[in-house]
Amino acid sequence: MKTKITLLLAALFIGLNIGFAQQDEECMTKLSIFHEYVKAKNFDAAYQPWMDVRTKCPQFNNAIYIDGEKILTDKIEKSTGADKVAAINDLVKLWEERGVNFPEKTPKGEYGAQSCQLLYDNRAILNKTNEELYACFDAAYQADKATFTNPQSLYTYFSLMVDLFDAGKKPAEDLFNKYDDINEKIEEEVKNYSESLNVLIEKETAGTELTSRENQYKAYYESYLAAYDQIAAGTDEKMGTRANCDILIPLYTKNFEANKENSVWLQRAAGKMSEKECTDDPLFFKLVNAYHELSPSANSAFYLGILKDKEGKSNEAISFYKQAIDLETDNFKKSNLNNRIALKLKSRGSYSQARSFFREALRLNPSNGRPYLSIAAMYAASANDCGDTNFNKRAVYWLAADEAQKAARVDPKLAGAAAQSAANYLAKAPQKAEIFSAGNSGQVIKISCWIGAQVTVPKM
């Protein structure tokens, strides 16, 4: 009978994809019991057999830690006061035990951030200070930056830095460095998810239907990209006016001599001054030239293009912008660079050139819909200048609406903004009564000027 039971349990474990490292019948039996309780969401009943296995056989199976997290999370949600504190601390301890007993399945950055986030979310009841919490996140980040990828934890980590800066406990330079560090990390994660998503978008664009599994992956990638987009906006909002020219210029001036051979420092300083529109100050010129001389790169060439733009030397600026693109080898970064250049050209009214760079940005990263919205905005801004009649001028808004709608199709996180833009453009385009009066339903209108496109009048 005992042999039959053992074989039955072994077969059950195979079905659950559960393996074991030591032959202990009691642990095997109790693991099966608590696992079934967890599946039924009867966490209270699961607690004692789970604790027995956790205590006696900590290396028996990773299910101890997977199910244990669910058991303790339920206990945290249901308890209050000292019981809640005990359950929170025990969950943190459980993750530490998992790291000891199953290190290959417990990435330090991921689980460290998870623990710190739990402490942060319950900081009031745990009496945790901002210094303690920041130190927790920083230790996890430094231990394993590669797997510290949770969007919420990245934001919390930076938010704590800002709070410590506001309290006078962190200097401005630490704040700016951490801002750059977190944003570079966000960009890295966006790059990873975008490249995976682009493969699926290109497949769809080619007319091939995605499998159900591919659609699941697509939704997964899109959800994470939306989360990182929110976090990027959140870090900018949290930073607010703390990084302005009045703060940046004295700080970077003071530290320039000590860092003029440090390409990372020069790049970040020039980037921050460019981002905050501090490019009129002579310090920006010093930073850019020192950076380009020390380490010629796509970024340094881009900043030199900005300088030439400031001098009114448009052709030289374009030359440096193109050099920047040639120096960049990563397609995702090259797409971002094309978009940045296009935005510069758009801001000075060079719409035709800007569109070329926007389109290249789209080619390199088709899952980013922002260039479509920028092209749409340029079309709309040119409506009065393109077309020989009032009707044809307003027909430009149909083109603008079409570009905005493309943004929504490839980039769900922009769906709301894109739909609002498209609706706004369509409201300015000729309406049904005007089309009926003009008698040109279904006809093709050629749009001249820099746009050089054609649009079909909707059929009535």
pLDDT tens by residue, 140-164: 999 999 999 999 999 999 999 999 9
Q: Rounded distance, CA 222 to CA 219, Å?
A: 5
Task: Measure Cα distances from 456 to 373, 383, 450, 459 in Å.
Answer: 20, 16, 18, 9
Max CA pair span of the chain: 94
Q: Does the pLDDT at position 16 exceed 70? A: no
Q: Does the pLDDT at position 324 exceed 60? A: yes
Q: Rounded distance, CA 414 to CA 372, Å?
A: 11
Whole-model pTM: value is 0.83
pLDDT (0 to 100) of residue 439: 84
Check residue 208 and report its DSSP letter: P
Residue 387 banded pLDDT, cuts 50, 70, 90: confident
Q: Rounded distance, CA 20 to CA 63, Å?
A: 10
DSSP H or E stretch at residue 291: helix 282-294
pLDDT (0 to 100) of residue 24: 79
Q: Which residues are paired to 454 by β-bridges?
A: 446
Q: Does the pLDDT at position 259 exceed 80? A: yes
pLDDT (0 to 100) of residue 5: 40
pLDDT > 90: percent of the chain: 86
Q: What value, to the nearest 5°, has the Cα angle with vertex 267 and ends 261 and 271?
A: 150
Residue 440 banded pLDDT, cuts 50, 70, 90: confident
Contact 353, 422 (CB under 8 A): no
Q: Rounded distance, CA 46 to CA 36, Å?
A: 8
Summary mean pLDDT of the chain: 92
Residue 448 banded pLDDT, cuts 50, 70, 90: confident
pLDDT (0 to 100) of residue 22: 45
By CB atoms closer than 10 A (0-12, 13-18, 19+), residue 216 is exposed
Residue 8 banded pLDDT, cuts 50, 70, 90: very low
Q: What value, to the nearest 5°, has the Cα angle with vertex 304 and ends 298 and 307?
A: 150
Tokens 């919390």 belong to 156
**Of the candidates 373, 327, 329, 368, which has an alpha carbon nearest to the alpha carbon of residue 354?**
373
**Residues 165-168: contacts with CB under 8 Å, at least 24 apart:** 165/242, 167/130
Tokens 């490249």 belong to 195
Q: Rounded distance, CA 362 to CA 365, Å?
A: 5
Pairing of strands 453-456, 444-447: antiparallel
**Of the candidates 59, 51, 65, 67, which has an alpha carbon nearest to the alpha carbon of residue 20?**
59
